[in-house]
Amino acid sequence: MKIIVAIKQVPERDAQVRIDPVGKWIEELDVQFALNESDAYALEEALQLKEKHGGEVIVISAGPERAGQVIREALAKGADRGIHIEADDLGSRDALGVARLLAAAIQPENPDLVLAGLQSEDLGLGQTGVILAELLGFPHSSLILHVDVTAKGLKVKRELEEGWFQSIELPLPAVLAIQSGGNKLRYATLMGIKRAKTKEVRRASAGELGADASPVVILEGISLPQKQRSTQILPGSPKEASAALVEKLRFEARVL
């Protein structure tokens, strides 16, 4: 089975960010970057499928030169080879534009399965995997926690709302958007890091893939949230005020 995993490099979750002088994105020189969380779970699902059924795992990422770091990280964890779509204008592309880049690089590989994270931690659009399935002409499903290979294709476990789950079957080839938390993530071993240095990473530009930039403007501008203090007087009896306070701490402040 040939599995392709789409991964993205995003700012670390706890990074202290500053707005760039243009006011349309963060100042990237001051930020540490990491592998997008749900993409890490997609990679883990692919590696487990490879261990059970054999085949090949290929990681693909679009972004500037620094995106090669997450490709090497994936190779160190066990992926077989990588594809780096060199694109410095990723921030100017909407989900359709990014999906077109990925689809153009994936199609010649003729994969059996394409996995992507449910959404990215920086933009959180949650659309790229679904659009990618449409461009490839593959059936798809999202919010996936577990994947089993069957005689007819795949059986997947989807997360629904309020603790409910759904099991569905899909034919191959297919595209799946993986939810975080389905597996325990592995760490790269020292031997894996050494082997990653010798594994193939194919590079291609957006121009070579024939995928032009999107005409859509994603962000007009960004700003840091304004800090402000406010006081609320909770009416009613002490019992009623206490209940209202607990509700606000639980659902508004989210500290309970």
Which tens digit of pLDDT belongs to each residue from 8-29?
999 887 777 778 787 777 777 7
Calculate the dihedral angle through the C-alpha atoms of 168, 173, 177, 178, rounding to the nearest 10 degrees.
80
Is the per-residue pLDDT at 220 higher than 80?
Answer: no
- DSSP for 198-238 reads TS-EEEEEHHHHT-PPPS----S---PPPP-----PPPS-H
Collapsed DSSP state (helix, strand, coil) of residue 147: strand
Each domain of the chain, given as residue ranges in start order, spans 2-209, 226-256
Q: Residue 156's pLDDT is what?
A: 94
pTM of the shown model: 0.81
pLDDT digits (tens, 9 = 90+) for 188-206: 999 999 999 999 999 998 8
pLDDT digits (tens, 9 = 90+) for 31-86: 888 999 999 999 999 999 999 999 999 999 999 999 999 999 999 999 999 999 99
pLDDT band at 212 (very low <50, low <70, confident <90, very high): low
pLDDT band at 213 (very low <50, low <70, confident <90, very high): low
Is the per-residue pLDDT at 148 higher than 90?
Answer: yes
- The architecture in CATH of the region 2-209 reads 3-Layer(aba) Sandwich (3.40)
Query: Rounded mean pLDDT of 146-169?
Result: 91
Q: For residue 159, what are the CA distances in angstroms to 86, 168, 180, 198?
A: 34, 11, 10, 38
